[in-house]
Structure formats: C-alpha cells, structure tokens
Amino acid sequence: MKILLAVTAASEAATGLALLAYPPIVIRLLFGVEITGVADVVSRFAGGALIGLGVACCCGRLCGGPPYPCHSSRQRALQREKMSGFGGMGARPDDVPSFGRSHNVNEVSLAVEAQHATQGSRLRRSFLPSVKRWLREPLIHFLLLGAILFAVDRYVPPARGSGPSSQQIQLSLDDLAQLVLQFQAQWRREPTPEELTRLIENKVQNEVLYREALAMGLEKDDEIVKRRMAQKVQFLAEDVAAAREPTGNELKSYYQQNPARFAQPNRVSFRHLYFSPDRRSSRARDDAAQALAKLDGQPQDAKVAGLLADSFMFQDYYRDRAPEYLGKEFGPQFALAVAKLATGSWQGPIESGLGWHLVFVDTVIPGRVPAFEEIEPDVKTAWLGEQKDLAWRKAYEAMRAKYTVLLPAPPAQTAARAATMPRKKEIPASSGEGAE
C-alpha cells in the first residue's frame, strides 16, 4: 500500500510540474482540448496545487500509522463492560439467585439499550471518518481539478488575440504555390526570388493587419464586412448544389421541359448609314430622311451612300447578329425596329442611343430550337444555375425561419392613417437573392 501511495505522490508532483511549466501541452494530452486565456492561468495554479498534494501525500500518508489506533482497545473495553452485567465472564442468568433476579433483569435491559446506543454512536463515528478519508484522497483531488480545468476552458470565452497560435503566421506549401500561380496568371512568367519574397511579405502583411483589426473589433457593425460574410454563406449554399453532376437523363428532361429557354432568335445581317446629332444637331433626323429619298431603289453598296452619311465609330456592316447583341450595341429600341424590317431595301430613319440610322437588311436567319446534342454544355450550365438557385432559396428559408424580425412601432399619425386604409395581402419573406 505504501508503494502505491508513493507512486501516486510522485505522479501528482510530476503532473504538477508539467502543468506549471507547459500547461497547454499537458491539457492537450490529458483532455484533448486547447486552452487559452483564463484556463492557462488556472492550469498553472492547479499545477502548484498538485505539487503540494504530492508532497503532503508523500510526507504524511507514508510516515503515519493506522488512522484510528485506539479503535480496537475501545471495542475491547465496551465488550468487557457489556459482559460484566451478567455476573462476569461465563455467568448465565439461571445461576443468579432468585431474590436478585428482578434486579439482574433491569441491568440486562440497561445493557441492551447501552449496546444499541453504542452501535449508533459507532456508526456515526465510522461514517464521518470515512467521508473525511475520501476527501483526503489525492485521486479525488486530481479528478476535481481536471473537471474544473475542463469546465473553465469549455465555458469561459478566451481573450481575443490570446494564446501562442495568435502570434504565429504559418504559410503552407499550397499557399506559396497559390502565390506563384497568381503571379504567373498576371505576368506570364515565373517570379524571381525577390518577387516571391515580396509576394510572401504582402500576404503576411494582410494577415497581420487582419488579426490586428479583429483584436480591435473593427469587424463589428461594418456594412461591407456583413455583405461579404453574407456572400460567403450564399456561395456555400450554392456550392452544395454544384457538387453533384447531373445525369444525361436529367439534362434531357430539363431540356424538354424548357425548350423556350434554349430557342435561338432570328439573326439579321444589315448595313447602316449613321447621322450624328453631334455634327448635325437637330437636323440629323431630317438629313436622314432626305438621304433615304435619294437612296430609293439603290443597292446597299451604292457609292452615293457613303457620301450622304457620317463616319461611325463601330462597324458599318453587321452579319448574323441577334437582337440581344444589337440591344447592347445600339439600344433595345433599335434592336426591336431592325427585327421588324423587310429585306432588300433602305429603310428608316431609326433612332438608337447614338443617333439616327438608315438600314439595309440583306438576310434574315429564322430562329430555331437546336437539338439537345448541339447545346448539351449550355443545358448543363442552365441546369446547374437553376439548382444553385433552388439550393440557396431552400437554405435561406431554413435560416430565416430561426429568426424573428422586430420593427419599430409606427408614429401615431401613420398608425391612424394605416387603420383607415384597406389591408393589403401579406407579402412572404424574401428569399434574399442577389445579396451583394
């Protein structure tokens, strides 16, 4: 038993020394958790306490005798006192003379009561020392200290910017490879050692400034930071849908259900003459109308056409252009007007966002719905986009359901006016699409 106590005392002292010197490592080995801030200080105090317990256990428990040396002698005295009530050792009640039997009966009753009282006091005396003995056990102390350390590290929030990891900036090989790839994409060559050093220092600078900003709490109540964090959550929700590749049957079914989405519009080829409002001012439209009269019946490549119009900053002839392209180039009003023109003659004037035009349409390619095999990549892109949108709306609805929005009460006049107005249909919560 003394050897076991000695081993326990030595282990307590060693654990206390380790906690006092390297508390994060010891706690990680014992409990598998990281400690920072207050937990680090508490673990050092616990290390000192364990050293004291080990010394006390070694000096006190190994050198002392039995905890209650008088317990056996006290029991023997009580036994002798009990047996004396029956006329001595070996005496029986029948051997007592008849004239003193009543007196002996009373003495027996008193002896029995005394025995019961002695047993009760003995139980009380044995229970309390047992509790005290358990409370003095070093193993109980060790377990309690471990529970306290775990609770402090679990429920006490760490100080911002505390701990050795906050003072370390570790760059992996992947980080360095990413820096090199970014440099190659921009400059089309490998970075020199000096350039790579500058790239690394720029990344370290960004990390240092980021951590210092967090330590000062600059991320709080920042609208740009909130918007960026919201974008990240949306991207994560969309990436869940993009992680699954669609099957061929799914793409064909999607193509058959959405033919108008893949329909190709009419494409036109035309030549135009430009009349600039900057050069002609308010006469631009009238000059275009006069030029149209001179071009009546002329082909699109007539030499006189170039002499009547102004130079144009873009093209004079456009081949196989869709209305979407013309809308971006000239404006939606011009694109719609050209789509309605007949072929084979000069027509106009037609206004665009740049000025006035006379247009000669030579060919029109009717729109059609291409076969699935022709546009399978486009169908896959459209399917993935729709799945991302569905995944985002579903994720947002689940997140939105956890919150209750509280709006301020309207002013008295606004409330009175709202009470007299008819109630409008309740608008459901927005899906939050297009978060910037």
Residue 50 pLDDT class (50, 70, 90 cuts): confident
Looking at the fold, whether 385 and 249 belong to one and the same domain comes out as yes
Residue 164 pLDDT class (50, 70, 90 cuts): very low
- pLDDT for 64: 47
Classify residue 436 as exposed, middle or buried by CB count within 10 Å of its CB (0-12, 13-18, 19+).
exposed
Point out the domain boundary residue: 317, 345, 365: 365
15 inside domain? yes
Looking at the fold, whether 249 and 187 belong to one and the same domain comes out as no
Q: Which residues pair with 269 in a beta bridge?
A: 363
pLDDT tens, residue by residue, 28-39:
777 666 666 666
Looking at the fold, whether 187 and 45 belong to one and the same domain comes out as no
Looking at the fold, whether 356 and 385 belong to one and the same domain comes out as no
Residue 287 pLDDT class (50, 70, 90 cuts): very high
187 inside domain? yes
143 inside domain? yes
Looking at the fold, whether 192 and 73 belong to one and the same domain comes out as no
159 inside domain? no
Quick check: 96 pLDDT over 50?
Answer: no
Greater pLDDT, 33 or 394? 394
Residue 359: which CATH number? 3.10.50.40
Residue 244 pLDDT class (50, 70, 90 cuts): confident
- The answer to whether 361 and 304 are in contact (CB under 8 A) is no
- pLDDT for 21: 74
Classify the C-alpha dihedral 89-94-96-102 as positive or negative.
positive
Residue 27 pLDDT class (50, 70, 90 cuts): confident
Quick check: 354 pLDDT over 60?
Answer: yes
52 inside domain? yes
Looking at the fold, whether 319 and 375 belong to one and the same domain comes out as no
Host domain of residue 135: 2-91+105-153
56 inside domain? yes
Instruction: Enumerate the H helices of 246-283 as residue ranges.
Output: 248-257, 277-280
CA distances from 122 to 74, 115, 129, 306, 388 (A): 11, 10, 11, 126, 78
Residue 120 pLDDT class (50, 70, 90 cuts): low
167 inside domain? no
Closest CA to 328 of 365, 310, 353: 353
Looking at the fold, whether 6 and 123 belong to one and the same domain comes out as yes
Quick check: 397 pLDDT over 90?
Answer: yes
224 inside domain? no
Looking at the fold, whether 306 and 288 belong to one and the same domain comes out as yes
Quick check: 247 pLDDT over 60?
Answer: yes
